[in-house]
Amino acid sequence: SLILLAAYRQSATTSSEPQPPDLDQPESEKIESSKPESPKPESPKPESPKPESPKHLLDRVVANQEKMKQWAHHAPMNHRHKYLLVEAEKQAVLGQQAEAIELYDHAIAAARENDYSQEEALANELAAKFYLRWGKERVAAGYLQEAYYGYARWGAQAKTTALAQTY
């Protein structure tokens, strides 16, 4: 769902940029065969798939959220923070800042409460990006610091390096 929201945000702002990979493509088509293939005659390249409309992407996010809501109901310790984070991203994309703020904070708290340190760090990072897009650098700095230390506790050195270089 986060990938769909990113694609929605991207297609809502511009449609000339590359689109994310097709999530509906079967795994068998994603993995190339390890057998050497005999050379085939050149054929015209297939057309790129048309990008999904922002409405279609949002509809997919809503449908996925319905599933996540059920999972969160039955196993809140495993899924509630994920549902809340996707919902925060959805509200941010839709321009509902107040709702997004509350949902980011609830997602962070739920991830922390259930010892999902990597997802707590991710929620902090996404909240920081939300505040940066909104022009609230001082608020974003606190979330970025929490994300950095969360990734460090998890042992994600490449991620901490990337955060330090980017921000």
pLDDT tens per residue across span 98-144: 999 999 999 999 999 999 999 999 999 999 999 999 999 999 999 99
Question: Which has the higher per-residue pLDDT, 39 or 42?
Answer: 42
Residue 26, pLDDT above cutoff 60: no
Helices (H), ranges, the chain: 2-13, 27-30, 54-74, 76-93, 97-113, 117-133, 137-154, 157-166
Q: Which two tokens stand for residue 8?
A: 């929605």
| CB-facing half-sphere around the CA of 157: CA atoms within 13 A | 0
